[in-house]
Structures are given as C-alpha cells and as structure tokens.
Amino acid sequence: MAKTDYQSIDEYQDVFPAEMQIRLQTIRDIIKKQAPEATEVISYQIPAFKLGKQFLIYYAGFAQHLTLSSPWSAAFLQHFSKELEGMKVSKSVIQFPLNKPLPLDFIKAIIAFRKQECEA
C-alpha cells in the first residue's frame, strides 16, 4: 500500500484485495450498528470512529491480519482477558489473523465496551 493520503474510509478500503475489503467492511458495519452516532474519520491514515472528541476505535488491514486499535484501558484488558488469550495484543492493538474467521460477537462486545468507556 503506497498511498498515504486517504480522505475517506471507502478510499482506504478500496486499495485492499476483495477478501480483506469484506473483512474491513464487516468491522465498519459492526461499529456503525453498535455506535450509529459515531463519526467516521481517517486518523493516522487508517479508519477510525469518534464519539464526540474521543476516539472510539481504529481499525486497519495488513498482509496477514487486521487490527482493532484503541488505548486499551486496564479495565478493558481485564474484562476481556479470557477472550484475548492466545491473541497478539498490545496496549493499543488486537490482531485478528486472516487465516481465521472474524470473532464477530467478540468484536461487537469490544465496540460496546469502548462505547461505554467513551460515554463515561
């Protein structure tokens, strides 16, 4: 991906192969359904959603995985400790490998939790 001046999420997602586009759009659709009031933006040249002035979540595609990003709180990491076992996780990124199905219910729960944190 050489392009680095994305103006929209559509523009970002369109550069990926079809299978990744479907995965990215699935994440986008989940976010829009869980937080319909959130605003779509490009931040750090990747898709993000904001609730007011706070970032709800970022997501991005890579060759072998896609990521959900946010500064994960200690409460978040503790709440989802069981679900996160065996996954690549940092203080701000969770990787979802492309060779496995997306854990849709888990992603919905992540968005719901982050929404509560942003609203608190």
Strand partners of residue 60: 67
pTM (predicted TM-score): 0.91
Give me the amino acid identity at 50.
Answer: K
**What is the Cα–Cα distance from 108 to 30, expressed in whole angstroms?**
6
Q: Is 100 in contact with 19 (CB distance < 8 Å)?
A: no
Q: Which H or E run includes 33?
A: helix 18-34
- Residues 55-114 have pLDDT tens digits of 999 999 999 999 999 989 999 999 999 999 989 999 899 999 999 999 999 999 999 999
Q: What is the CA radius of gyration of the chain?
A: 14
Domains of the chain: 9-119 (3.90.1150.200)
Q: 30 in the Ramachandran plot: left (φ > 0), alpha (ψ -120 to 50) or beta?
A: alpha
- Residues 46-65 have pLDDT tens digits of 999 999 999 999 999 999 99
Tokens at residue 117, please? 């944190």
